[in-house]
Chain A
Amino acid sequence: MLTMAQLLAPLHEHRTNEVVVTTMSAARPWGRLSSHALDFASVDSAMGHGADLALGIALARPERRVICLNGDGSMLMTLGTLATAVGARATNLIIVVCDNGRFETTGNQPVAGAGRVDYAAVARAAGFPSVHRFDDARAYAEALPGILRAAGPTLVHVVLKPGQEGPIIRGPAEDAPYLRTSLAESAEMLRAALRV
């Protein structure tokens, strides 16, 4: 199992000009590491739809990779998105499923099928050409640069230790800058960064 830090640090190191969409327990830790103009937190938004937002951005901007740091609970809510991404040929979409088996931000209640659902296998069956599963930090860090270059859609299933991130409430009390603005303001900032 990896810690959230072991997942995010290599991604932060290798990230260049990709859009990064975060959700749930990954949102705050990523915002502590990164203050990139192409970061966007799908927080205070719609349950389970972070990967859909990322898919939409990826389809609008085929020249740029879009990485979604999705929760396992969020992924379970919209598994159909995997079929949609394949059907839409979103070759620049990378979905990272942060599988801690828990609804961490509500107090670590187990998700349905915790520890038993193989998200990599689900993605492969849905037609994802680039699928990876990691429960070892070194193997993940070594493979990541190649994963970021591969033609997708890509799904990376990372088995994580549960953390202790509590609920996120957008506003000045959040330490990550991209969580201090409203969702609408964040969307406008991302549009500006994408020169829309």
Chain B
Amino acid sequence: MKSAGPRAAAKSATTTATKTLRTLTASGITHLVGLPDSLSAPLFDAAVGHPVLRLITVTREGEAFAIATGLWIGGASPLVVVQNTGLLESGDAIRGTVLRIGAPIPILVTGRGYERMRAADVDPAQTPTPELLARVDVDSVAVLTERTLDAWGIAYRTCEGADDPVEAILDAIDGAREREQPLALVMARALE
């Protein structure tokens, strides 16, 4: 049996990204604000030149949360998309804008290091230690992602393995609106 190969994988990713964009616009999302990584790149690629959804690419992730809060104040409905490394970089921006104002912004956090964490048999709920954070077989950002969201008081959901990423994103958008608070979705799998 032939392997699907990189071209088929790219087509699949594009299809998922296209479905995601269709879902975003159908649910009233007006702006996609953030920085791409290898997991979210298909979404950013598909959003370039989109007729309805505006793509705002930032230079550093903290910007994304303040810009998204301004968009919400102005009546728009943004989705923030950042890698978990960028989430950690954004601490004061999140505290001082999204949380301080209570802007109901959905946040898609792509999860670098989750596969390695699983391969190393590390539980995301495990208390981080200096030894764990320095292990060569563990990407420390994955260890810290959910614990950081807990510490900041940001509700979150995770999307793993067999979960449908498009449904998970839609649930996160609905959840943020229902709670009238920011809500994060940790995408611990590829978007293909």
Task: Provide the bound-state CA to CA distance between A87 and B102, in Å.
Answer: 27
Contact A46 B62 (CB under 8 A): yes
Assuming A44-B100, A45-B97, A184-B102, is B73 touching A60 (CB within 8 A)?
yes
Task: Provide the bound-state CA to CA distance between A51 and B95, in Å.
Answer: 16
Q: How far is the CB of A71 from chain B (nearest CB, A)?
A: 15
Binds B, one of A4-12, A78-86, A136-144: A78-86
Contact B96 A45 (CB under 8 A): yes
Q: Which of A52, A54, A184, A187 has the most C-beta atoms of chain B within 10 angstroms of its own C-beta?
A: A52
Contact A56 B74 (CB under 8 A): yes
The DSSP consensus for interface residues of chain A is helix
Chain A, interface size category, equals 20 to 34
Chain A residues in 8 Å Cβ range of B66: 46, 49, 52-53, 56
Contact A81 B59 (CB under 8 A): yes
- Asked if A176 lies at the interface with its beta carbon under 8 angstroms from chain B, I say no
Q: Would you list which residues of chain A between 7 and 66 have a CB under 8 Å from chain B?
A: 40, 44-47, 49, 52-61
Known contacts A56-B67, A80-B63, then 7 further A-B pairs from the complex at CB < 8 Å, ordered by chain A residue = A46-B62, A52-B63, A52-B70, A52-B97, A56-B66, A56-B78, A184-B102
- B residues at A contact (CB < 8 Å): 30-31, 54, 56-60, 62-63, 65-76, 78, 92-97, 100-103
